[in-house]
Amino acid sequence: MNKISQNNLRLHRKRRVRAKISGTAGMPRLSVFRSLLSMKVQVIDDVQGKTLVAADTKEAKTKNDVAGAKAVGMLVAKKCAEKEIAQVVFDRAGYRYHGKVKALAEGAREGGLVF
């Protein structure tokens, strides 16, 4: 019997969630990508297929830990404020809502984004 990898299970959850949520110009999608080396965030308008704002741990000049994820969340919220984006739909991309993903969401909320 073949074992299904954790990443394949995550991708299956990601597809299931993406079937239900979508970003528009009025309320774009805040998409999270987490790896062992960095954490990346994009604010995407799915109707036009364009990335409006992006940020990652390298740009925030932080480590890839919980505090760094919170800093990335604050940075993306600041960039969204400059582009007059107040509300977003949070897309955790199949990752569990704890640790770095939760810290990123809290940082974005502290920066002024509404989910």
Residues 6+ apart with CB under 8 A from 37: 64
Cβ–Cβ < 8 Å for 111, 77: yes
Q: Which amino acid is at 94?
A: G
For the whole prediction, is pTM greater than 0.85?
yes
Instruction: Please give the distance of CA 83 from its chain centroid, rounded to a whole number.
Output: 17
How far, CA to CA in Å, does 1 sit from each of 4, 5, 8?
10, 13, 16
Q: Among residues 67, 49, 68, 50, which one has the least CA distance to residue 59?
A: 68
pLDDT of residue 84: 93
Q: How confident is the model over 48-94, as pLDDT tens digits? A: 999 999 999 999 999 999 999 999 999 999 999 999 999 999 999 99
Answer yes or no: is pLDDT of 1 > 80.
no
Residues linked to residue 85 through DSSP beta bridges, in sequence order: none
pLDDT per residue as tens digits for the range 31-55: 999 999 999 999 999 999 999 999 9
What kind of architecture, by CATH, is found in domain 6-110?
Answer: 2-Layer Sandwich (3.30)
- The pLDDT, as a whole number, for residue 25 is 86
Predicted confidence at residue 43, as pLDDT, reads: 96
